[in-house]
Amino acid sequence: MERIHQLSKTYKNHMKDQIKKLEATARMLEPSAETRNRLAEKVLSYGDNFLNDLPSKKAYASPKQNISSSPFSEGPADMDKLLDFLKSNVDANALNPASGGHLGYIPGGGLYPSALGDYLAAITNRYAGVFFSSPGAVHIENRCIRWLCDLIGYGPKAGGNLTSGGSLANLIGLVNARDDSGISSKDFEKAVIYTTRQVHHCVIKAINFAGLADAQIRVIKMDARFRMIPHALQKQLIEDRELGLKPLVIFASAGTTDVGAVDPLHEVGTIAQDQNIWLHVDAAYGGAFLLTEHGQQKMNGIHHADSVTIDPHKGFFLPYGSGALLVKDVSKLHNSQHMTANYMQDTLAADEEYSPADLSPELSKHFRGLRMWLPLQLFGIAPFRAALDEKLLLTRYFYQEIQKIDGIEVGPEPELSVMFFRYVPASGDANTFNRKLLDAIHEDGRIFLSSTNIDDIYYIRLAVLNFRTHLQTIDDTIALLKKKIAAL
Ligand SMILES: Cc1ncc(COP(=O)(O)O)c(C=O)c1O
């Protein structure tokens, strides 16, 4: 008996020794205040230098592709070396979305207070998916959502979810339309989705993700400004009903990525209501312009939509990773996404506000609201509105000025802040010329433009949405284009 007791005591001591040994190494995960300060100083100084040097940095640097970061090892690495790696392989490589010279695709943002918000969100690591766990974090997220709903003109029944971006917001919107339609999965072949050729390709991906790959997709005709023709939509809907098909959703756009077109939302919304079909508006790019009078006019009728996508990481200048899905009647989104489990039963005790986890596929989630709430509170709304009005005017200014160059052909007058153009040389193939022109712009690197293909014609696109793009950037772009056209 004594021996067994002795053995058990030895085993217990051995176990404690083991635990203490592990603890000593595990505690490296919690740096001391002194180490924290040292690391934070280095990171802050890296960030400050990045921002201070930004005006002299290129928007596009020739890409370095053979990147090889050291494999992870059992021991620690040196912060200075890690930051050096970031500097040369990440932050001075290819596209620089932080630059005001980024005028391609749809530029993103990167507001400084959002970085501070992300820092706080990561340090405090509030469980932002569930009201029970963090009523404050959920409230902040819902405050952001309410503000977006007000911009659309939605009433008190509206709500939504802050997603990682527009692709996810469009997917959740589509799934909500599917679930609300009452069309059973065995009838998905008969379901019909209405959109135009301008719809963002993430919607086609969403259709597959939503299990609707066998549904019919009706590509509705557009007018000369790439906007859905309401009459064509109505005619198609009526024909489809006569064929016994089941109209499921209209996917309209408020600012297409390609050319910035805004579908006639009032007319399309009225048809959707008459035909009792879900209308989703992808305003991922255009939605932020609702802060401006011009945007309100262009997107008149957006409140008819059953759901809307807006990307704060586009027109509200947040860093990437911020989209939003807004639903006119949030209880429909709740019906589509809510689920419970026995290990979640405690959370049912607090339901004063909707929990993000009940309105999206995500459960544990980044406290995204903080990176949006902080800059909106700190700066107020006025600078956002001014920046958006400025971007609209800068695009119009470019549109007028570029036409002063002989040989330049432009697309339609920009509805928002995206437009396209090309140079038509006196002789030779225009597509080849414009490809070379864009290569020359990229080689210079101060400005980044992207391209598109419309009816087999190669065009250069300009998208003004970075908050650091101002008049000087646009003047520099025009001067650069003139110089490169002359050189070619
Ligand atoms: C109109 C539109 N919809 C959807 C998306 C996809 O959004 P995200 O890249 O945030 O997933 C974009 C992206 O540019 C867009 O412009």
Number of H helices, E strands in the chain: 16, 13
CB 252 within 8 A of CB 265: yes
Among 95, 102, 228, 285, residue to substitute to test ligand 1 (most atoms within 8 Å of Cβ): 285
The closest alpha carbon to 163, from 282, 323, 287, belongs to 323
Question: What confidence score (pLDDT) does residue 8 get?
Answer: 79
* Ligand 1 pocket residue status of 263, Cβ below 6 Å: no
C-alpha 435/C-alpha 48 separation (Å) is: 36
The closest alpha carbon to 86, from 37, 139, 43, belongs to 43
Among 170, 174, 200, 415, residue to substitute to test ligand 1 (most atoms within 8 Å of Cβ): 200
Question: What confidence score (pLDDT) does residue 3 get?
Answer: 72
Q: Is the pLDDT of residue 382 over 90?
A: yes
Q: Quick: pLDDT tens for 64-114.
A: 889 999 999 999 999 999 999 999 999 999 999 999 999 999 998 999 999
Question: What confidence score (pLDDT) does residue 213 get?
Answer: 97
Q: Which residue has the higher pLDDT, 3 or 432?
A: 432
Q: What is the pTM of this model?
A: 0.97
User: How far does the centroid of ligand 1 lie from the alpha carbon of residue 419, in Å?
Assistant: 17
Beta-sheet pairing, 418-423 with 408-410: antiparallel
pLDDT band at 285 (very low <50, low <70, confident <90, very high): very high
Question: What confidence score (pLDDT) does residue 392 get?
Answer: 98
Question: What confidence score (pLDDT) does residue 4 get?
Answer: 73
| % of the chain surpassing 70 pLDDT | 100
* Ligand 1 pocket residue status of 311, Cβ below 6 Å: yes
Rounded mean pLDDT of 325-336? Answer: 98
pLDDT band at 5 (very low <50, low <70, confident <90, very high): confident
The closest alpha carbon to 464, from 298, 302, 289, 299, belongs to 289
Per DSSP, the three-state class of 87 is helix
Question: What confidence score (pLDDT) does residue 1 get?
Answer: 64
Q: Quick: pLDDT tens for 148-203.
A: 999 999 999 999 999 999 999 999 999 999 999 999 999 999 999 999 999 999 99
User: How far does the centroid of ligand 1 lie from the alpha carbon of residue 388, in Å?
Assistant: 18
Ramachandran sector of residue 159 (left: φ over 0; alpha: ψ -120 to 50; beta: rest): beta
Among the atoms of ligand 1, which is closest to the Cα of residue 257? 16
C-alpha 148/C-alpha 281 separation (Å) is: 14
Q: Is the pLDDT of residue 375 over 70?
A: yes
Beta-sheet pairing, 307-310 with 323-327: antiparallel
User: How far does the centroid of ligand 1 lie from the alpha carbon of residue 225, in Å?
Assistant: 20
Q: Which residue has the higher pLDDT, 215 or 13?
A: 215
